Amino acid sequence: MELQETRVQTDRVLTIPNILSMARLLGVPLFLWLILLPEFGGPNADGWALLVLALSGVSDYLDGKLARRWNQISSLGRLLDPAADRLYILSTIIGLTWREILPWWLTALLLARDLTLLVMVGVLRRHGYPPPQVNFLGKAATFNLMYAFPLLLLSDGNGWLSSLAAIFGWAFAGWGTTLYWWAGILYVVQVRRLVKADAAAG
């Protein structure tokens, strides 16, 4: 993550990129419900859950690309886009852990990282800085995790396809978790430097 602020190009709320981000947010509870449906006696809906996740990935790509191309980067969009990413990751972690596809230790590791960054955002706000923007390392971590989770969901079955999905799913999960924490540690270092600089200036 970076502490530089993306230049806001419009104050409009109802832009195409923002509508795409809002649609992604609305898909979060649907996605979680589809994952957990078998746990409550319903039919297996993993295929539909994967479809919702795939559509969210497409909209994630489009909202950023369109916002830049059409000069529609907005303050609301800067909040909605990372919020949707975090909520999809959180809902997938909850669903896969509930179904015992993800181990508890990995869930704890991912949630601990998010909790650490939440604390750092609070520190930034107390010093008058805006929330950070996601940099390449953070995007790479999210990219790996967003590939890992559907593959791990697909691995919850039998046959060669499930076995292959498990291999690639755990590989992406390992890379994604490592990058997730690496980006988080760099962010903590940046926050500490800002706080020390403020203290020295004061």
Enumerate domains of the chain plus CATH numbers.
Answer: 16-201 (1.20.120.1760)
Where does the pLDDT of residue 202 fall: very low under 50, low under 70, confident under 90, or very high at 90 and above?
Answer: low
Select from 172, 21, 159, 154 the least CA-distant residue to 85: 21
Instruction: Please give the pLDDT value at position 104.
Output: 92
**Per-position b or e across 38-47, b if 16+ CB within 10 A of its CB:** eeeeeeebbe
Q: How far apart are CA 74 and CA 169, in angstroms?
A: 34
> What distance lies between CA 119 and its chain's CA centroid?
17
- Kindly state the average pLDDT of the residues 99-111: 91
Higher pLDDT, 54 or 67: 54
Comparison of pLDDT for 177 and 196, the residue scoring more: 177
pLDDT at 12: 67
Cα separation, 123 vs 109, whole angstroms: 22
Is the predicted pLDDT of residue 138 greater than 90, yes or no? no
Percent of the chain with pLDDT over 70: 88
Residue 189 burial class via C-beta count within 10 angstroms: exposed 0-12, middle 13-18, buried 19 and up: exposed
Closest alpha carbon to 171 in 143, 139, 141, 148: 148
* Residue 179 clears pLDDT 80, i.e. is over it: yes
More confident residue, 37 or 196: 37
Specify the higher pLDDT residue, 64 or 157. Answer: 157
For residues 7 and 84, the model is more confident at 84
pLDDT of residue 108: 93
Rounded to the nearest integer, the mean pLDDT of the chain is: 82
| pTM of the complete model | 0.75
